[in-house]
Structure 1
Amino acid sequence: MSIVAAAGYTQYADALVTPLFGDRLIARAYCEFVCGDITNTDYNGDLTKHGDQITYFIEPEVEVRDYQKNQRLTPQELESETVTMVIDRAKYYNVKLDRIDEKQIAFIDKWVDAFLERASYNVKLQIDPDVLMRMALQAAPFNKGMNAGKQSHSQQLGEYGNPIPVTAANVIEILTRLRIVLREACRWQDGQMFIVLPEAAESALMGSDLKAAYLTGMSQSPILNGKFPLQVMGFTLYFSNNVPCVLDTATNTNAYWIVAGNKKATGFAQQLEEHEIVSMEDSFGKYYRGLWVYGHKPFLRDALAVLYARF
């Protein structure tokens, strides 16, 4: 609204003062994605040409028995365990732009580039929580719950109705529980382990001993620069707004399904990413559209551990 004119002075806003429209687009906020960093994408090449699924064999388990001199040996028949990844996800966008609008919009190139970039972003916004939730659901049963641990069954990682409270006082101990569970499953591999934390976890980490620079090996405390060490307890830390969050009705709190594990545990394959511009048949204009076809699957279920927690 224009500045109000004093009494007796002509208001020119409606006639002579014309509004301006800048050719700079105000960028929306963009979250970071973690799917590409915590999955194994080596399977992309196997599915780029054709097929809607691929099956892999898991290395067989070999029994070792005691031996006595001259005893008759018992042969073992190996079991062929397989796992199948299906290309069962597809996303698309389809934007209509009339020819007249395309001609009259002064900054049309920036406009088109902006909505194409946003389309790619919004697809990723749906992929990340989908992958994380499947990891949580399909992780090995002994790597989650209140009696986690393949050997000890002693680690409390939470369950629906009983989310583990994570605070500055216990966050390091909670990460240790996840480490124990994955080591008991013999799936620990230095340099390959990750954990995806919600942004809400930052308050616990900032209040923990990790705030001391001399404990993290960093030149400054995270309190000063807002940066955490890339690795804590052997886990590469990722923070994401896409960590699955549910309302735990039993406790009336928001609880998170936090996944930790080996980056090689889950396969991800994008079979098709296609963008095209198509002329309208019944009008003057174009369709800007894109299609993503992909699939993902936890191959090594015991290489994933799940913490059900609240902050």
Structure 2
Amino acid sequence: MKSSAGYSQYADALITPQFGDRLIARGYCDFVSGDITDTDYTGDLSKCGDQITYFIEPDVEIHDYQKNGVVKPQELESESVTMVVDRAKYYCVKLDRVDEKQVCFIDDWTNAFLKRASYNMKRLIDPEVLMRMAIETAPTNKGMDAGKESQSQDLGEIGNPVPISALNIIEVLTRLDVVLRESCRWEDGAMFVVLPNIARNALMASDLKAAYLTGQAQSPLLNGKFPLVIMGFNVYFTDMVPKVLDVATGKQAYWIVAGNRKATGFAQQLEDHEIINMENSFGKYYRGLWVYGSKPFLPDALAALYATF
């Protein structure tokens, strides 16, 4: 602190700045890719190869039969789907030997940036996986006439997003339910929906604010907690839901994905971290590499909602 005019200024010469040995933590949000995909495929790609192909269960046609009728054999078609490990991300941090020695809390510093590197990588994966799921969702499970049987469920499309509010959010979730059931992909306990955090506004003002309707001891109005399962969906909230500016409406629109967690395969083939001595200087490089891929194997086990809030 500066002294008044005419008095000695000791601040710059005698008072030593102090640095705390604790790091101020950054914010950490949740990531969802691991919970909404099937990661069993990692084992098949852990040894070698950059892609893996699986064959789809063959379909058999059923015909009416009449006595003495001619039976026509069916030739089965061999359908397959391939997941390619085609994504990679890295980090590389330089740390000089002098800094390594002089920074008093160097171990905490190092552990902190390594933790942050791993977190930032996972955060980048979520929007990639969710967007791919939305794009590759079966045509019958998205759009303004979704539904394999009824073609009656409006899930929105570019230029015509579904406006979601407290009045209709439960009904809109029901549309996703109907679409997935019409695809015969509903499996109790395995279904999910990924909502943007802004959806909390609509849910909090909907009928779910009443404790007796949620089965919880307290209303979400008191504790801010929604049921983990709504309309049979395991609900995940994240700020990584893919969003775009819908030009026709001038609003931010979200691609909300719902479905069976077995629908999409995810494989992390390589996660490597290493410390390397610098060649032309004293110090080290801390670096890491992730190699991974994802693929919706069952497009009709997903449903994509294009909506605004």
In the superposition, the TM-score normalised over structure 2's length comes to 0.99
- Tell me which of 204, 207, 210 is aligned to 1:209: 207
Q: Does 1:269 align with 2:267?
A: yes
CA distance in structure 1 between the partners assigned to 2:43 and 2:122 by the alignment:
20
Look up the SS of the partner of 1:175 in the other structure: helix
Who is 2:116 aligned against? Answer: 118
CA distance in structure 2 between the partners assigned to 1:111 and 1:251 by the alignment:
46
CA distance in structure 2 between the partners assigned to 1:275 and 1:267 by the alignment:
24
Q: Unpaired runs of 5+ in structure 2? A: none
CA distance in structure 1 between the partners assigned to 2:301 and 2:187 by the alignment:
10
Look up the SS of the partner of 1:69 in the other structure: coil
Question: Offset of 1:7 from its aligned partner?
Answer: 4.4
Number of residue-to-residue matches in the alignment: 309
CA RMSD of aligned residues (A): 0.8
CA distance in structure 1 between the partners assigned to 2:66 and 2:218 by the alignment:
62
Who is 1:134 aligned against? Answer: 132
CA distance in structure 2 between the partners assigned to 1:230 and 1:75 by the alignment:
49
Look up the SS of the partner of 2:119 in the other structure: helix
CA distance in structure 2 between the partners assigned to 1:284 and 1:16 by the alignment:
33
CA distance in structure 2 between the partners assigned to 1:176 and 1:81 by the alignment:
32
Question: Offset of 1:60 from its aligned partner?
Answer: 0.8
In the superposition, the TM-score normalised over structure 1's length comes to 0.98
Who is 1:298 aligned against? Answer: 296
Letter of the structure 2 residue corresponding to residue 13 of structure 1: A
Q: Runs (4+) of structure 1 moved beyond 3 Å?
A: 6-9
Correspondence 1:166-181 to 2 at 5 A: 166-181=164-179
- Tell me which of 53, 63, 66 is aligned to 2:64: 66
Question: Offset of 1:11 from its aligned partner?
Answer: 2.8
CA distance in structure 2 between the partners assigned to 1:126 and 1:119 by the alignment:
11
Letter of the structure 2 residue corresponding to residue 122 of structure 1: N
Letter of the structure 2 residue corresponding to residue 292 of structure 1: W
Who is 1:230 aligned against? Answer: 228
- Tell me which of 231, 239, 247 is aligned to 1:249: 247
Question: Offset of 1:33 from its aligned partner?
Answer: 0.2
Q: Unpaired runs of 5+ in structure 1? A: none
Question: Offset of 1:12 from its aligned partner?
Answer: 1.8
Letter of the structure 2 residue corresponding to residue 237 of structure 1: V
Who is 1:75 aligned against? Answer: 73
Question: Offset of 1:74 from its aligned partner?
Answer: 1.6
Question: Offset of 1:187 from its aligned partner?
Answer: 0.5
